[in-house]
Structure 1
Amino acid sequence: MKDNYFYKKPLSNIYKKPNAFSEVTSQILYGEKFKIISKNKNWIKIKVSFDNYTGYIKNKYYTKDHQPTHKIFTLKANIYNKQKNKTKNFLPFASRISMIDENKKFIEFEKNKWIKKKDIKKINHIEKDYLKVLKMFLKIKYLWGGKTYRGIDCSAILQLFFYYNNKFYPRDTKDQIKYSAKKNKSKVFKKGDIIFWKGHVAVCINAQKLIHAYGPEKKVLIMNIKETINRIERTAKLTVKKISPIKY
């Protein structure tokens, strides 16, 4: 099936198999584009257009008709009703929305659903400060397959920076390692270095500290680079596989 579709709920798990008890491999965000590979009554197998990621989502909450004009530039943006009262619902960072109406403080993106203008940027906005994006997720819980304020994994926090900027970057660490250029050998780390292990990735915020979604600590946090390398080698028997400069 060749048509493009767009997801129209705040987020959904992407499953390895068409079964809610199957492994969650990633998530799809509001306004994210995909193609349908196959479908049945309850499930569709999709290929996400941004990174060619495949998996299964429930066969509902999507549309062909979506022309995004803005995107969310906050960790989570409150959705308001037509009276401009807060609801209990949010759109996660990097969601792509289409403006259908506006007033001084809000834009309407679906009938009777409004978002504050301070929480959005125009669709072509580029954010070069990757630390601004990564630090949004500080203290967010670690969640395998997650990519939002509800939980995030180590490769998603890096990929989201590129996704927001409309620039391709793979979803999984094993593919990110292959895709990223190798840095000249140096034992001195600097801001913007990406450190890869088998199954894990972190980004240096300066010569001493890194930020990552770290399973053993169950959250996104900043840690000392050398202490982290030693801890991962000691506890998981993994050594650094590659160091790459962040390129955007």
Structure 2
Amino acid sequence: MTALPDRRLNAYRPDLAEEALRGTVAAERYVAGTPARIADPVAALRPRPDLTAGIDTQLLFGENVRVLDRADGWAWVKSDFDGYVGYLPEAALAEDEQAATHIVAVPRSFAYSGPDLKTPAAFALSIGSRLTVVGESETRGTRYLTLAGGQSVVAGHCLAMGETAGDDYVSIAARFLETPYLWGGRSGFGLDCSALVQLAMMMTGRTAPRDSDMQAAGLGTPIERADLVRGDLVFWKGHVAIMEDAQTILHANGHTMSVAREGLDAAIERIGWLYQQPTGYRRP
């Protein structure tokens, strides 16, 4: 019996499926979807249209999606960034097309109501948020970017689209230290283990799948524990950590409920009673 495609990355239901799955899965009809973008600072993506359902992942301000269906105030969408599929409230979407010109490059920032740090913050922004900049100004020596919505963001907190924060994704991951752990979280306000990997790599121009099992299956190449160096990944069942050096890991974890630094040997011993030994090691 042929296994069905991964529902996290493939949109299909008995009544509807994405056009790319025509001939692969059976559905009453197939759609290409319509473009939209995330208008909330962070939007939770859920496996069903129900606010009590757990969060699978999150989409960030300005990220693009394809809307496959709308019903009862919910939208069924697929992320353009990593292909993740799920449901979010329609109110989290904007329909107008705006090409992103900049990306937030610090873990957290604010969109102010005007080009001045003393004006009220309109909303918070996570690293990775996509911005459409239409102008700029300077107040008391600080440069601000003016967004299409009229808000202002500190220019020094942003990069132009296509620019990166350097080559060392581990240094980006370390900037999240003490950020709260959040199951399914994918923002500077709270994130899980695999999102730490994905976001840190994204800011250096690299791509990574969203979930730890996806990363363990195909991100980089397998290596042996004895070969671990900075930037390598350690996997347990349902968990991933980044090697900061040959003995130390960075990981978002449920033990400290934060992004934390920990010795690899200590982590293996602590995690082992619940999740057994590491399942593998990979070099991205």
State TM-score, norm by structure 2.
0.82
Query: CA offsets, 1:153-179, max 9 Å, x none?
Result: 000010112333454321111111111
Instruction: Report matched runs for 1:1-248 at 5 Å.
Output: 1-60=32-91, 61-82=93-114, 84=116, 85-87=119-121, 89-104=123-138, 105-127=143-165, 128-234=167-273, 236-246=274-284
- Find the aligned partners of 2:115 and 2:158 in 1 and give their Cα distance: 20
Give the root-mean-square deviation of aligned CA atoms: 1.6
Q: Relative to structure 2, which stretch is displaced further, 54-63 or 198-207?
A: 54-63
- Find the aligned partners of 2:248 and 2:115 in 1 and give their Cα distance: 45
Aligned to 1:47, what secondary structure does the other structure show?
strand
Write the letter of the residue equivalent to 1:28. Answer: L
Structure showing greater radius of gyration is 2
- Find the aligned partners of 1:204 and 1:219 in 2 and give their Cα distance: 17
Query: CA offsets, 1:13-64, max 9 Å, x none?
Result: 1111101111111101011111112111300011111111101010123224
- Find the aligned partners of 2:257 and 2:223 in 1 and give their Cα distance: 32
- Find the aligned partners of 2:183 and 2:125 in 1 and give their Cα distance: 20
Once the two structures are TM-superposed, the CA of residue 88 in structure 1 deviates from its matched residue by 5.8
Question: In percent, how many aligned pairs have the same letter?
Answer: 24
Q: Which runs of 5+ in 2 are unaligned?
A: 1-31
Q: Give every structure 1 segment of 4 or more consecutive aligned residues whose post-TM-superposition deviation is greater than 4 Å.
A: none
- Find the aligned partners of 1:23 and 1:133 in 2 and give their Cα distance: 28
Cα pair distance change 1:13/1:124, threshold 3 Å: same
Aligned to 2:214, what secondary structure does the other structure show?
helix
Once the two structures are TM-superposed, the CA of residue 92 in structure 1 deviates from its matched residue by 0.4
Q: Which runs of 5+ in 1 are unaligned?
A: none
Aligned to 1:132, what secondary structure does the other structure show?
helix
- Find the aligned partners of 1:216 and 1:184 in 2 and give their Cα distance: 26
- Find the aligned partners of 1:146 and 1:106 in 2 and give their Cα distance: 28
State TM-score, norm by structure 1.
0.93
- Find the aligned partners of 1:220 and 1:168 in 2 and give their Cα distance: 20
Write the letter of the residue equivalent to 2:153. Answer: I
- Find the aligned partners of 2:162 and 2:97 in 1 and give their Cα distance: 19
Aligned residues: 245
Question: 1 or 2 for the larger relative contact order (CA 8 Å, sep ≥6)?
Answer: 1
Cα pair distance change 1:237/1:94, threshold 3 Å: closer
- Find the aligned partners of 1:4 and 1:19 in 2 and give their Cα distance: 23
